[in-house]
Amino acid sequence: MAACTIYTVQALNTTCSISTPTKTHLGFNQKQVFFNSNGGKGTSSGKMRGGEITCSGDTIVIGLAADSGSGKSTFMRRLTSVFGGAASPPKGGNPDSNTLISDTTTVICLDDYHSLDRTGRKEKGVTALDPRANDFDLMYEQVKALKDGVAVEKPIYNHVTGLLDPPELIKSPKILVIEGLHPMYDQRVRDLLDFSIYLDISNEVKFAWKIQRDMAERGHSLESIKASIEARKPDFDAYIDPQKQYADAVIEVLPTRLIPDDNEGKVLRVKLIMKEGVPYFNPVYLFDEGSTISWIPCGRKLTCSYPGISFSYGPDAYFGHEVSVLEMDGQFDRLDELIYVESHLSNISTKFYGEITQQMLKHADFPGSNNGTGLFQTIVGLKIRDLFEQIAAKRESTPLQSTKS
């Protein structure tokens, strides 16, 4: 970049460097820059000519990958709740928007980067999981712009009509969460992530959840649910599942081992797999960091009806990475007694004693609140808050520095 002059602009705590040897662009207003849904970079006023701009914002970007029906929305509700304030779609916008905005967080759904609508996919014979049905160039441009503090006009994929609706304006938030099928698929997007999570739901459990939701709430038949799972499986295995190797934390949901040959999928064994050495992320541990522990907490302080509860913790390897794994099998009878378990966990990034229990009680009606899915989603939410606060503190002491490493 030639003769780069740095101007601080008013909007969004963002600093933009403008590569111009003269000061003729001083009138440029960063608020007017959009990355439009054709992937182009432009200004609404036309004042910006000739120069290249590079902005460095304060936004941290979190990626959440999972198949459809794997609990992403539930996780997002737990995460935004940790930051306080309610999350809602952009005010006055498209009622079918997939975006959720709260004071601190903006959650965008990567389905909005489908390049083929429902009919287009049908005609070409590709599923939504296939990279050919998604526009990764635009995803990269827009996530980068938001990370850099620049607003974008993001397309909307309408799940009701199956069409691509006119774009919506998304402003750069403090925390941007990109959730969906492919947040870690494209290396350029992956490199923008400050933290990444993969929800790994085993086939048996995914099937049980999908039946519960799509039969009960959406009126689908058992046969059509089975057929849709089967049709998605090859692309899921090829394009979605491999992303877990890149995740900083994986929540793996499996059938219980406490009930022999259980096929109901109600009692779950859930693992929280936490990568070691991730900046600003200290894995949670049980009793003694780095040791291997098995713990049955049932007894005087924790009521457990059949089949009971068991925890385990220890070091392991995951796709060649050193990880710590915390596992919970079984379910809680009484959520208020969760405080007993919480008090034996360390590095949980709570701000006060009992914060996990309080969060779980607050959302007792969310699916998974009585088992490891809710517990570990809540813990990951607290770890993300901690990561955000550490990065913000570091930026305050050393402005304009990259924080990833």
Ligand X SMILES: Nc1ncnc2c1ncn2[C@@H]1O[C@H](COP(=O)(O)OP(=O)(O)OP(=O)(O)O)[C@@H](O)[C@H]1O
Site track for ligand 5RP across 187-226, x = CB under 6 A: ----------------------------------------
Distance (Å, rounded) from C-alpha 234 to C-alpha 242? 12
Q: How many residues sit in the footprint of ligand X (CB under 6 A)?
A: 14
Angle at 139 between CA 130 and CA 210, to 5 degrees: 45
Fill in the DSSP letter of residue 307: T
Distance (Å, rounded) from C-alpha 240 to C-alpha 249? 16
Rule CB under 6 A: choose which of 9, 116, 128, 145 binds ligand 5RP. 128
Residue 403 CB, nearest distance to ligand 5RP (Å)?
A: 30
Q: Beta strands of 158-248 (E only): which ranges?
A: 164-170, 175-180, 195-201
Rule CB under 6 A: choose which of 30, 74, 115, 359 binds ligand X. 74
Residue 168 CB, nearest distance to ligand X (Å)?
A: 18
155 in helix, strand or coil? strand
The residues, ordered by sequence, that sit 6+ positions from 220 with a Cβ below 8 Å of its Cβ are: 214, 228
Binds 66, which of ligand 5RP, ligand X, none (CB < 5 to 8 A, cut-off by type)? ligand X
Q: Beta strands of 280-399 (E only): which ranges?
A: 285-286, 293-295, 309-318, 321-330, 345-346
Binds 128, which of ligand X, ligand 5RP, none (CB < 5 to 8 A, cut-off by type)? ligand 5RP
Q: Which residues share a beta bridge with 152?
A: 35, 170
Does 330 contact ligand X by CB under 6 A? no
Torsion region of 379: left, alpha or beta (phi above 0 gives left; psi -120 to 50 gives alpha): alpha
Residue 111 CB, nearest distance to ligand 5RP (Å)?
A: 4
Site track for ligand X across 37-66, x = CB under 6 A: -----------------------------x
CB 38: neighbour CB atoms within 10 A?
11
CB closer to ligand X, 282 vs 371: 371
CB closer to ligand 5RP, 101 vs 181: 181
CB 402: neighbour CB atoms within 10 A?
8
CB 372 within 8 A of CB 269: yes
CB closer to ligand X, 71 vs 149: 71
Residue 358, Cβ density class (10 Å: 0-12 exposed, 13-18 middle, ≥19 buried): middle
Does 394 contact ligand X by CB under 6 A? no
211 in helix, strand or coil? helix
Rule CB under 6 A: choose which of 107, 116, 139, 181 binds ligand 5RP. 181
Binds 118, which of ligand X, ligand 5RP, none (CB < 5 to 8 A, cut-off by type)? ligand 5RP
Fill in the DSSP letter of residue 336: G
Does 73 contact ligand X by CB under 6 A? yes
CB 376 within 8 A of CB 253: no
Does 381 contact ligand X by CB under 6 A? no
Query: Considering only residues 182-221, where is the footprint of ligand X by CB under 6 A?
Result: 209, 212-213
Binds 354, which of ligand 5RP, ligand X, none (CB < 5 to 8 A, cut-off by type)? none
Amino acid present at 139: M
Does 367 contact ligand X by CB under 6 A? yes
Query: Considering only residues 153-172, where is the footprint of ligand 5RP by CB under 6 A?
Result: 159, 162
Distance (Å, rounded) from C-alpha 146 to C-alpha 175? 10
Rule CB under 6 A: choose which of 31, 41, 77, 118 binds ligand 5RP. 118
Q: Which residues share a beta bridge with 371?
A: 331
Does 368 contact ligand X by CB under 6 A? yes
Q: Which residue minimizes CB distance to ligand X? A: 368
Residues that bind ligand X (CB under 6 A): 66, 68-74, 209, 212-213, 367-368, 373
Residues that bind ligand 5RP (CB under 6 A): 68, 111, 118, 128, 159, 162, 181
